[in-house]
Amino acid sequence: MKSEKRRQKILVSLIVLGILSITLFIFNENEGYILEQTNNLSFGNLTQTQITEYSLTETTEYQCTLNMPEERTVILRIDDITPWNNLNLMEAMTREIIDRDYGASLGIIPKRMEEDRELIIWLQEINQNEKVELSQHGHEHSFEEFGNLNYEQALEKIELGKEIMMKYFGEIPLNFIPPYNLASNETIDALKDSGFKTYSGGTRDKLVEENFIREGYDATTYKYFTEEFIYAEEVLEDCNNSLDEKGICVIMFHPQDFTEDGKIVDWKYQEFIKVLEGLEGLDAQVVSFREGFCREFTSQTLQ
Ligand SMILES: [Zn+2]
């Protein structure tokens, strides 16, 4: 009688466990399905279906004369364009900017770019718009990647990243954004020798030379040191102060500023929109680094 009861107990436990497993399985399946669907939705309007790969002989190299802009100038910088960020969000943010006829520099992490075909296709398409500039954001984006490198080490990483940019986008980038906004002096030398014209690091990075301009960010939607989300009102105030002071304001965004666990948080995203709406009141042109600093633009194909 006792062993019969025990058998029944075990049986009931097994049934409960079984039901629980099935529920969990269905839940996971659903979650996967929902994610897949959202991803597919955003690509409905893409005309391109295949990745174009460029050879060296098809690569375009730009030349320009550097000049500080005469009018008040806001530069928008979106860092961490990479497969691990939310593509729907990167696409939406860029769309909001170009729909207002503003420009932006997208900070692309070259390494592992090939892991996201859709991301490359989208970037190739968005790059047709001259308001959009593709900047090189380091090579692999390891912690303070360029912070302590000597000249040779820096040059090697810069060139590795640049080759990936050339392969997928058919052009040599002009602007470099170091991961964590940090780079050694030797990295700056290597960047100059590698043909970069502009550089955007941290808030204290300001230096105008004949063939190289350093212009760090002045306002941001997220302060990494204090792990603090910054509301549009403060971003616009910081930006306006910078414009009053030196005529330039660089705003740094990261797509992940507006997400939690990879999902877009609506109220945060609305703050991004408020920043864009508020730019109208700053009496400034809103452009990429290239449009802001490069004059007498010429391009040639590498031989
Ligand atoms: Zn970054």
Domain housing 250: 56-301
pLDDT at position 150? 98
Residue 79 Cα to ligand 1 middle (Å):
5
pLDDT at position 152? 98
CA distances from 273 to 38, 57, 94, 112, 134 (A): 21, 40, 11, 30, 22
Residue 182 Cα to ligand 1 middle (Å):
10
Residue 85 located in a structural domain: yes
Which comes out higher in pLDDT, residue 12 or 168?
Answer: 168
Residue 13 Cα to ligand 1 middle (Å):
50
Residue 18 Cα to ligand 1 middle (Å):
45
Residue 198 Cα to ligand 1 middle (Å):
17
Looking at every residue in the chain, the average pLDDT score rounds to: 89
49: enclosing H helix or E strand: none
Residue 9 Cα to ligand 1 middle (Å):
55
Residue 80 Cα to ligand 1 middle (Å):
5
Q: Return the SS3 of 212.
A: coil
Cα angle for residues 197, 192, 294 (degrees, 5° grid): 10
Highest mean pLDDT among 10-24, 57-71, 124-138: 124-138
The predicted-structure confidence for 122-168, as pLDDT tens digits, reads as follows: 999 999 999 999 999 999 999 999 999 999 999 999 999 999 999 99
Q: Are residues 132 and 94 in contact, defined by beta-carbon separation less than 8 angstroms?
A: yes
Q: What's the rounded mean pLDDT across residues 174-202?
A: 97
Residue 203 located in a structural domain: yes
Residues 6+ apart with CB under 8 A from 208: 66, 68, 214
Percent above pLDDT 70 for the chain: 88
Residue 206 Cα to ligand 1 middle (Å):
19
Residue 282 Cα to ligand 1 middle (Å):
27
Residue 214 located in a structural domain: yes
Residue 5 located in a structural domain: no
Which comes out higher in pLDDT, residue 225 or 302?
Answer: 225
Residue 20 located in a structural domain: no
pLDDT at position 57? 82
Residue 46 located in a structural domain: no
pLDDT at position 49? 75
Residue 179 Cα to ligand 1 middle (Å):
5
Residue 204 — very low, low, confident or very high, per pLDDT cuts 50/70/90? Answer: confident
- In this structure, what CATH number is given to the domain that contains residue 287? 3.20.20.370
pTM of the model: 0.83
pLDDT at position 19? 64
Residue 84 Cα to ligand 1 middle (Å):
12
Q: Give the CA count within 13 Å in the CB-facing half-sphere of 98.
A: 16
Residue 30 Cα to ligand 1 middle (Å):
32
pLDDT at position 42? 45
Instruction: Flag the least confident range among 40-44, 190-194, 268-272, 281-285.
Output: 40-44
pLDDT at position 9? 77
What is the count of structural domains for the chain? 1
Residue 303 Cα to ligand 1 middle (Å):
33
Percent above pLDDT 90 for the chain: 74
The predicted-structure confidence for 214-253, as pLDDT tens digits, reads as follows: 999 999 999 988 999 999 999 999 999 999 999 999 999 9
How many Cβ atoms sit within 10 Å of the Cβ of residue 19?
10
Residue 137 Cα to ligand 1 middle (Å):
7
pLDDT at position 33? 30
Is the model's pLDDT at 32 over the cut of 50? no
Residue 88 located in a structural domain: yes
Residue 33 located in a structural domain: no
Helices (H) and strands (E) in the chain, counts: 8, 16
pLDDT at position 266? 97
